[in-house]
Structure 1
Amino acid sequence: MVDFTLGEELEALRDSVREFAHDVVAPVIGDYYERHAFPYDLVRQMGKMGLFGLPFPEEWGGMGGDYFALCIALEELARVDSSVAVTLEAGISLGAMPIYRYGTDAQKHQWLPKLTSGEALAAFGLTEPGAGSDAAGTLTRAVLDESTDEWVINGSKAFITNSGTDITALVTVTAVTGTNPDGSKELTAIIVPSGTPGFTVQPGYSKVGWCASDTHELSFDDVRVPAANLLGERGRGYAQFLRILDEGRVAFAALGVGLAQGCVDESVAYARQRHAFGRPIGANQAIQFKIADMESRAHTARLAYYDAASRLVNGRDFKRQAAIAKLASSDAAMLNAREATQVHGGYGFMNETPVGRMYRDAKILEIGEGTSEVQRMIISRSMGL
């Protein structure tokens, strides 16, 4: 028998995060969003709630949960705001998780307690101005100076989340460190602490959405870090980060479902209270059917990420399911955001309304952590095509 009912612990987590999102995030996030300001106070409170430690063992300061718990929290946050949700998602799946998965004991002891408590954030430096979906096109280079036992890094990264906050502790970057026997680039992951000489965080982007999250271009000019800052195995950086991206797509899917469901929540509430021609607009079948389709999309996408997350935490292959969940959730988010804006009419076009923000936030879900086209490539290749 297949049962999609969540256990008591996950239900309790869902309730607590939902309460936090509605009572704490919702009243203030619009102001942060309009000012393009990073919500340090909200991040601090999420840290105190233990959200940044959800999928990590207690020995590293975590909550002893798993990716399913993280996904539940992300969905509830994104029902209200995606900037806060992606700060948590990137802080865990792209920031702390590479250290946990591939770090040495010394690296874990140095960084994980700060990251799992929310005291500090870490970022994932993969994308470059000329290398997005094609990560093998990486141009950033790192050379090992054997005389000083240091990596010397030169290059740049683009669109990096959580990379320039006052509490950003490090960025893990992928760099070309040589050539493989087959002639391809040898890619290696290296930890670069914030404040390292030559490491410059460029001014924040002016973004269409996620306006209360932190995103920067990064430049590296003869940046020197100890050889011990190698993360994982030399030459395995690409493979390591493919695994990290697969996991991250499950979390990203949960975020997309949250946005899609948030559009439903706002549309139902508005359709009940907005009157036209002497009755609530929700009494009109055209609106009813539109919202019914929105709910169907959110529900279907939720089942997809539940499946992917279940496979992940149970040690089963989940790569195809992660791609399906990410594709389904981003499609649902985009379509629901458009329809929610239509339900709200002129009010939906105003940035200060939740659906106005959701409409702006939805598009990046078809791009970040692997475009929708990349997800279709993964799915079709897994079918032998």
Structure 2
Amino acid sequence: MSTSLTGRRPTDRELALEFPFFGSDHDAFRARIRARIVESVLPRAEAWEEQHGIPADAWKELGAAGLLDVGHTGEDFLRSAVLLEELGSTGYAGIRASIGVHAYMALSYVLLFGTPEQQAAHVPAAHRGERITALAISETGAGSDLRGLRTYAAPSGSDAAAGFVLDGHKSYVANGMGAGLLVVLARTRRPAPDAGAEHGLTGASMLLVDADSPGITRRPQPMLGWRAADITEITFDGVEVPADALLGRRDRALMQVMRALDFERLVAGLLAVGGVRHTLRLLDEHVRARRVKGVPLASHQSVRHRLGELYGEFDMVRRYAFHAAWLHSKGRLDTCTASVLKLRSTELALAAAQVCAQYHGAQGYLEGSAVARLHRDATAGTIAAGASELMRDMIFEAS
């Protein structure tokens, strides 16, 4: 949203030139992604909101359109950064969250820690949109603080190859009803009775669980926002999980979650940057067109100054987001950078949505309006993948 010396806003190409790691191939990729989103996502976005999820046939179309198969690492991730920003700029945070969880956040565990056999069994189908992935980590008493984790995968026999029996309950699972694969965090070793709350994730593991296994019950868990994200609560009651469903080493979930969360917050930040871009575009168009007492809202100094602040912060956050994406492409993303991006981008998205609603007046408070959707969705971004308060703690600890 910055302006040049001529007063004209720079094009996407001009903005891209400010990042030396973006080139003409990224411009072409952005154009293709925008066209595919216009064709495959936007015409049905409202229906997916009303249905509280993306239907199975639509997932396959998203896969065929190339929206689910872009790299997680190296130079390929710079293309993912473009894709994630464009998904964010659709204005439908539930859809962007659903795709982000499936194609990046949940699948990252398989790509980071899965065996070649596990990756072959799950990744191609996920890229094609034939089998949707979901993260079953949070519980009612264990969200940002996972020390209260209660889901337990007991050994099903004395033989290590016998597998596990899974019991517990998960909440706030995006893609939960439509998922075929659940990436589940569970304790695989009971903490000592005197360990107290400080045992953290000691003795916890990640499991790949078939969502259609006997003993699994799934119920929709509708939220105020993110309505297309298919938020679900899941109960595991004596679910048999084979030994080869263990993801990585047993009892080592702490290190896995810490590594994956940095990537998850990078993805969430890039999606939020796209969301801010969409909100500011909508807001800019409104204040220039809306007339009060015969003059546009944009002619009032207080309005211009508030939007100027938002535009300036957006420029800074967007540059930081692409810098973070570049760091990840080089294998150098750190917890502090990921946390700063997640905090600042989602908080900016909320601030922009609040201003957008305020300046639209009663029109922006109408049920079903795009402005009302942006406002209710923006709050969720400051909670999911680590609440803003947790991000501030992590930034402080890392500084």
Structure 2 stretches lacking a partner, 5+ long: 1-16
Q: How many residues align?
A: 373
Whole-Å Cα distance in 1 between the matches of residues 232 and 350 of structure 2? Answer: 24
Which AA in structure 2 matches 1:108?
Q
Distance 1:277 1:180 in 2: 68
Alpha-carbon shift at residue 354 of structure 1 (Å): 2.0
1:139 offset after TM fit, Å? 0.6
Flag the 1:125–1:115 CA change in 2: closer, same or farther, 3 A.
same
Aligned position for 1:152: 165
**Structure 1 position 7, deviation (Å):** 1.6
**Displacement, 1:32?**
3.1
Structure 1 residue 108 displacement after superposition: 0.9
Aligned CA distance change for structure 1 residues 32 and 117 (closer, same or farther; 3 Å): closer
The aligned residue for residue 125 of structure 2 is 114
Residue from 130, 150, 174 that aligns with 1:161:
174
Letter in 1 for 2:176: S
List aligned pairs for 1:298-313, cutoff 5 A.
298-313=314-329
Residue in 1 that maps onto 2:70: 54
Which of 192, 204, 207 is the equivalent residue of 1:187? 204
Contact kept? 1:175, 1:189, Cα under 8 Å: yes
Query: Which 5+ residue runs of structure 1 have no aligned equivalent?
Result: 58-63
> Deviation of residue 156 (structure 1)?
0.8
What is the rounded CA distance, in whole Å, between the counterparts of 1:34 and 1:285 in structure 2? 39
2:106 equivalent in structure 1: 95
State yes or no: 1:354 paired with 2:370: yes
- Distance apart, 1:18 and its partner CA: 2.7
The alpha carbon displacement at 1:221 in A equals: 0.5
2:16 corresponds to 1:4 = no
Distance in 2 (CA, whole Å) between partners of 1:119 and 1:24 is: 16
- The reply on whether 1:77 has 2:87 as its aligned counterpart is yes
1:269 corresponding residue in structure 2: 285
Q: Which moved more, 1:30-39 or 1:270-279?
A: 30-39
Change (3 A) 1:87 1:298: same
Inter-CA distance 9–134: structure 2 relative to 1 (3 Å threshold): same
**1:75 is matched by which residue type in structure 2?**
E
2:218 corresponds to which letter in structure 1? V
Deviation at 1:3, TM superposition (A): 4.5
Q: CA, structure 1 residues 40+197, in 2 after alignment: closer, same or farther (shift >3 Å)? A: closer
Whether the 8 Å contact between 2:40 and 2:65 is mirrored in structure 1 is no
Deviations along 1:14-61, one digit per CA (max 9) or x if unpaired, are: 22223344455344423432453435555333211222110158xxxx
SS, match of residue 178 in structure 1: coil
Cα shift readout 1:261-310 (whole Å, capped 9, x = no counterpart): 11111011222322222233223333222222222222222122212211
DSSP-derived class of the 2:48 partner = helix
From 104, 109, 129, the equivalent of 2:115 is 104
Quote the sequence identity (%). Answer: 28
- 1:288 aligns with 304
- RMSD after superposition: 2.2
After TM superposition, give the deviation of residue 110 of structure 1 in Å: 0.7
Match of 2:244 in 1: 228
Q: State the secondary structure of the residue aligned to 2:172.
A: strand
CA distance in 2, matches of 1:377, 1:189: 25
Secondary structure of the equivalent of 1:217? strand
- Structure 1 34/146 Cα, relative in aligned 2: closer, same or farther at 3 Å? closer
- Distance in 1 (CA, whole Å) between partners of 2:75 and 2:61 is 19
**Is the 2:62–2:68 contact (alpha carbons within 8 Å) kept by the matching residues of 1?**
yes
What are the equivalent positions in structure 2 for 1:165-244 lying under 5 Å apart? 165=178, 168-179=179-190, 183=195, 184=199, 185-202=202-219, 204-244=220-260
Question: 1:304 touches 1:324 (CA, 8 Å); kept in 2?
Answer: no
Aligned counterpart for 1:318 among listed residues 318, 334, 340: 334
Match for residue 358 of structure 2 among 311, 334, 342: 342
